Amino acid sequence: MELIRGARYKQRTMIQPPAQFTRRAVALSAASFAILGGCLTLPGTLLPLLLERFAIRLVEAGSMLALQPVGYLLAVLAAGRLIATYGMRAVLAAGMATSAAGFAGFGLISTWSGGAAMMLVSGLGFGIMEVGTNSLLIVVGGERRANLLNLAHLFFGVGSFVTPVLAAHAVAGGVSWRLTFFAAAAATASVALGWGLFDVHGIVPTQPAAGAAHRALRSRTALLCASMLGVYVGTEVGIGGWLTKYMVTVRGVTLTYAGNALSVYWLGLAAGRIALSVLSHRIREEKLLTGLTLGAAVASCSVLIVESPIGAVIGAGLTGLAFSGIFPAVIALGGRSHPHDTAGVTSVMIAGAGLGGIVIPWTMSAVAEGAGLVAGMALYPVLCAALLGQALLVRATLPASAAVATRTT
């Protein structure tokens, strides 16, 4: 069948893409999420060492890490226009190359302010990648969008699981921390090359519907999903960024032990996504969110309450397991509710995720600076309880919102 091109894209008509195209799109998206997971966890894994090397306070470290989601948010806001102007392939390739430059630069700097600037650069590329890949998967996934999203996002957990183990053990074995950032940059650049060689023209429309983001901003469901992603991402990244510091300082373990604990956290997330990549299409997204957020609220409390370090590690793994399906389920829910405004609603939701990734980890660092690390970490169970409340609110309001979306599309 000849693919529909040109003017018909403006009518948002979509032909089922060839299986080979879908497989390659999923493979490159999975690789991108694996790189994202690894690069987001690397600074947190080495945070105790970076605090020492840069001679900085907790709030300065929090500010340095917060510059990455600042860049991420700025890129998310610009991604739709960039994709419409330059095309999906060019923007995804350039975005990943920008992130590679940021991590290579971080390996060269010697001050925390320089590190903050490089975190900003890396965030710019990852924000573009997040919008592009999620939009691509929603479009090519059709009715199985939730499965494809969970499958691709599974590799975020894989990258997040593998990186802390490798980085912590490498540094403990005498490898310079700078080399770990150079390695992350090289891996990111290789994925950028993969996107550069992937031709999506004629398969996926790159021109968003006029006013799509503005329509999404008037949608109660889209705004609730954006709010939920903000709380979720801020909490997930915050725990990932500060767990090693908490384990070393409060639990009195070694950096290697703390790195293993962080890997268990991300392993739980990866394991959950393996299961959900097969089963998620059998469970409505709103029901799945209720169960997952309830589990996250309970498990995150256990990290702080249990007395033994191994108990805290188990609690971290269960928290990651509960987190596993939240992001893909929210993205799929937004796409299901606004099938003809996919680009707009995806941009709004991911912008909410980016804002949460800025505000929440920095707030935690400020609380930790003023009231202690335990008080800062206690913020996360509270936010998990807030996630449960948001999930219940989405579930209560979705039927009416979905009906409106159906009638207007």
* Domain segments of the chain as ranges: 17-204+211-407
Half-sphere exposure of 35 (CA within 13 A, CB side): 33
Number of CB atoms found within 10 A of residue 6's CB: 7
Alpha-carbon gap, residue 161 to 38, rounded angstroms: 8
Report the pLDDT value the prediction gives residue 203, as an integer from 0 to 100.
56
Q: Rounded to the nearest 10 degrees, how much is the dihedral formed by the CA atoms of 328, 392, 354, 129?
A: 10
Alpha-carbon gap, residue 260 to 45, rounded angstroms: 10
Topology of domain 17-204+211-407, CATH: Growth Hormone; Chain: A; (1.20.1250)
DSSP one-letter code for 205: -
Number of CB atoms found within 10 A of residue 372's CB: 14
Q: In the predicted model, what is the mean pLDDT of the chain? A: 83
pTM of the model: 0.71
Residue linked to tokens 């169970």: 381
What would the DSSP string read from start to end of 62-101? HHHHHHHHHHHHHHHHHHHHHHHHH-HHHHHHHHHHHHHH
Alpha-carbon gap, residue 202 to 358, rounded angstroms: 36
Number of CB atoms found within 10 A of residue 93's CB: 22
Sign, CA torsion 347/349/351/354:
negative
Report the pLDDT value the prediction gives residue 8, as an integer from 0 to 100.
39
Report the pLDDT value the prediction gives residue 189, as an integer from 0 to 100.
97
What would the DSSP string read from start to end of 285-344? HHHHHHHHHHHHHHHHHHHHH-SSHHHHHHHHHHHHHHHTTHHHHHHHHHHHH-TT-HHH
Report the pLDDT value the prediction gives residue 64, as an integer from 0 to 100.
87
Report the pLDDT value the prediction gives residue 243, as an integer from 0 to 100.
92
Nearest to 237 by CA among 68, 26, 406: 68
First to last CA, the chain: 26
The two tokens of residue 400 are 């009416």
The two tokens of residue 37 are 């997971």
Report the pLDDT value the prediction gives residue 190, as an integer from 0 to 100.
97
Residues whose CB is less than 8 angstroms from the CB of residue 64 and which lie 6 or more positions away in sequence, other chains included:
43, 56, 112, 113, 115, 116, 119
What would the pLDDT profile of 119-131 be if each residue is shown by its tens digit?
A: 999 999 999 898 8
Tell me which residues of the chain have a pLDDT lower than 50: 1-15, 206-210, 400-409
DSSP one-letter code for 197: T
Alpha-carbon gap, residue 367 to 356, rounded angstroms: 16
What would the pLDDT profile of 229-282 be if each residue is shown by its tens digit?
A: 999 999 998 898 889 999 999 999 998 999 899 989 988 988 888 887 776 667
